[in-house]
Structure 1
Amino acid sequence: MPGGALTTHACPLGKLGIGRPEEALADAEEATALWQRLAAAAPVAYDGYLANALTNLAALLIDPGRCEEACPMAEKAVTERRRLARDDPSQPADLATALSAHG
């Protein structure tokens, strides 16, 4: 992942594992917003990362019962992953992950 993005991407899930779900959710929301800006500027480089961030955020939103917010994000992640899988044959595993999280 580019620059410090790995830390931004992994941190929310780590905080969830140590009992800090509110911080995990805030970090995931911030990371998703950053990936959205990056993907808007350079879609080829960042759309996959955005799809990952949306999948993670959707998963975190389901836990506090915010399904109405989680579902559109999960659907967008699946849509992005389907598009990426059409363009790049190495993407089906990521599509499968997004579909599993969405289901």
Structure 2
Amino acid sequence: MPPEPLTRQQTDEALAGLPGWTTDGDSVARTYSFAKHLPAAAMVIHVAAIQEEMNHHSEMSLGYNKLSVTVNTHSVGGQVTELDIALARRIEDVAPGHGGS
């Protein structure tokens, strides 16, 4: 059974505990900054491993010292669900270990 989409209010409330994360109503997103390229690239691999574990994947864009992550749930028409919030929390937990801010 697919997860239920969150309302905009539920999404906003969930993101209140995730500084730097934003929503456009259809996805949640954050851009992390790093001192250099290698820590940013290492975080991509770490996030990919988390996504495989959760079987829930985001769009990621790697720049020199930036990593942008955008996530929504495709199985409910590209809306935000608790799965997206859970993935954002997991990403937020590992970011400091890579120097992401």
TM-score for the superposition, normalised by structure 2? 0.29
Report the structure, 1 or 2, having the larger helix content.
Answer: 1
Report the structure, 1 or 2, having the larger strand content.
Answer: 2
Compare relative contact order (CA 8 Å, sep 6+) and give the higher one, 1 or 2. Answer: 2
TM-score for the superposition, normalised by structure 1? 0.29
